[in-house]
Structure 1
Amino acid sequence: MRVASIQLNSGRDVDQNLNRVDHLLAEAAQLRAELAVLPENFAFMGGSEDDKRNAAEEQDNSPIIKHLSAQAKKHGMAIIGGTLLLKGEKGRLRNSSPAFDQDGRLLAVYDKIHLFDMDYQGEAYRESALIEPGSRSVVVDFDKWRIGLSICYDLRFPELYRLHASADCHILCNVAAFTAVTGSAHWEPLLRARAIENQCYVIASAQTGLHADGRQTWGHSMIIDPWGQIMVSLSEGEGVITADLSLEEVHRVRKSMPVLQHRRL
């Protein structure tokens, strides 16, 4: 299966962001991708808490979900829709990742479980002040492939990915807006570790560059094989990268070193 990872520099203008997304999805389709993955906050990035509340949509009547569904159907290409803000309970929001098949059918929506709270080197983030955490892992089936969904900060919690591996996933997907300071230190080693320990492909799609709220994101979207080798990557700037994945390669790696069968805990 040919897959595409899309890297963006999203801002506050939803229409402008979606126009850019449409262009890059079309490019992925022209490259014969069967699955395309968008980054976290692809439709809206930056802004105040009020801006984020105003951008949040009801899941059952979300224009952005409908837009991605139409794009998937138009291109005959499955899409993992990064994340968008959906309305939650008691005035809180959800940071949610929708997944669509090639006919535009919504397969599942994953709500980010681990929320990014950080205070390091003068940068402070409190995602938990606005977002309600998800409570369950989500796996989607596409053709013969099983794909485990995750979002950004989830990457630091290997138990989530072990749940995906236990569910016989072949691909682990992380959609992100990693900060430059944490990304430069941890992004690549964490992604490669998740691939190695679970013997899965990893598709990582990220935000890049400077955003409207002054946040600098790391970029470096990449696709990694089950042996932990980087197949393709994009350091900076917007764009599309593709790679051809093989189920036989997943089975070969797992047979040659049956790590998942050797677990004792």
Structure 2
Amino acid sequence: MRAAIYQANTGIDPLLGARALVEAAERAAGAGADMLFSPEMSAVLDRDRARAASSIVTEAEDVALAAMRETAAKYGLWVHLGSLAIRNEAGDDHFANRGYVIDDTGAIRARYDKMHLFDVDLPDGQSIRESAAYRAGRQPLVVDTPWGRLGLAICYDVRFPDLFRALSDAGATIFSIPAAFTRPTGAAHWHILLRARAIEAAAYVVAAAQTGKHADGRETYGHSLVVDPWGAVQLDMEDDVGVKLVELDGAAVLAARSRIPVLEHRRAIAAAEVAR
């Protein structure tokens, strides 16, 4: 697979966000990419919940989703639209942080709702309460692509290895982990966590990220990464906004799993006992 990674500095205007996504897809297609990966909250990134609510619509009304489906079909490009904030059709007070896999005909092949929500008070003074606005997903999800089975996750999910065990048990050879990591946690943990997820499952990790100072005042870490199944970093976009391409080779997965057959050696683990 020739994977295109879009590192974004998304703002608070959904039309501008949709336009930037389309431009990224056009650049990816023009460079010969097979699939584009975009970050978490690809169209709107706004921590002002009241203001953001006015731009969060249902899936059928979302301009970024419609634009990316049309663009994917136009260029014959697969897309993992990392995530969008989506309003529930039933009018639920909580939104979904939902990623989409779109095929080269513009059809939606998979929808994944972020399972682990980030509720925390950070040392830099930020207080983040995702659960106040979003409802957690309940189901791990993989999707078949022409280049292998893709396991889906979003941002904070990366800290929960049981999720990635479930994805690799279901046949995933590539994990996509779009994110909008904060700078402090990114500097401390981002590279380590992504490399660990790749090594544990001998799988590729593709992690498209948000970067820089955003219109809502937050700062994100950037460093979109592609990690190979041996844990080596193939691509690190550092702080740059833009699109970069990298080759993913299915043979590398087979080679890593033959050298250290971790999937074959996995065992069901019971709850730990307390020695007395």
Alignment of 1:144-223 (within 5 A): 144-223=147-226
Tell me the matched-pair count. Answer: 265
Q: TM-score, normalised by structure 2?
A: 0.93
Q: Which shifted more, 240-249 or 163-172?
A: 240-249
- The CA distance in 2 between the partners of 1:66 and 1:145, in whole Å, is 25
Aligned-pair CA distance for 1:20: 1.7
Amino acid at match of 2:54: N
1:94 equivalent among 93, 96, 121: 96
Provide the residue aligned with 1:32 in structure 2: 32
Q: Which shifted more, 234-243 or 15-24?
A: 15-24
Secondary structure, in 3 states, of the residue corresponding to 1:175?
Answer: coil
Provide the residue aligned with 1:84 in structure 2: 84
Aligned-pair CA distance for 1:204: 0.4
- The CA distance in 1 between the partners of 2:47 and 2:255, in whole Å, is 46
Secondary structure, in 3 states, of the residue corresponding to 2:195?
Answer: helix
Q: TM-score, normalised by structure 1?
A: 0.97
Provide the residue aligned with 1:120 in structure 2: 122
Amino acid at match of 1:189: I
Taking a change above 3 Å as real, the CA distance of residues 230 and 80 of structure 1, as seen in their structure-2 partners, is same
Alignment of 1:41-60 (within 5 A): 41-60=41-60
Aligned-pair CA distance for 1:47: 4.5
Instruction: Give yes or no for contact 1:52–1:85 (8 Å, CA) kept in 2.
Output: no
Provide the residue aligned with 1:252 in structure 2: 255
- The CA distance in 2 between the partners of 1:63 and 1:18, in whole Å, is 7
Secondary structure, in 3 states, of the residue corresponding to 2:208?
Answer: strand
- The CA distance in 1 between the partners of 2:255 and 2:155, in whole Å, is 29
Q: Which shifted more, 16-25 or 179-188?
A: 16-25
Task: Provide, for residues 111-166 of structure 1, a one-character-per-residue CA deviation record: whole Å limited to 9, x for no partner.
Answer: 00000111121221000111000010111111141000110000111111111110
Aligned-pair CA distance for 1:67: 1.2
Identical amino acids, percent of aligned pairs: 38
Task: Give 5+ residue unaligned stretches, structure 1.
Answer: none
The structure carrying a bigger strand percent of its residues is: 1
- The CA distance in 1 between the partners of 2:215 and 2:65, in whole Å, is 23
Alignment of 1:101-116 (within 5 A): 101-116=103-118
Provide the residue aligned with 1:11 in structure 2: 11
Instruction: Give yes or no for contact 2:17–2:64 (8 Å, CA) kept in 1.
Output: no
- The CA distance in 2 between the partners of 1:111 and 1:53, in whole Å, is 18
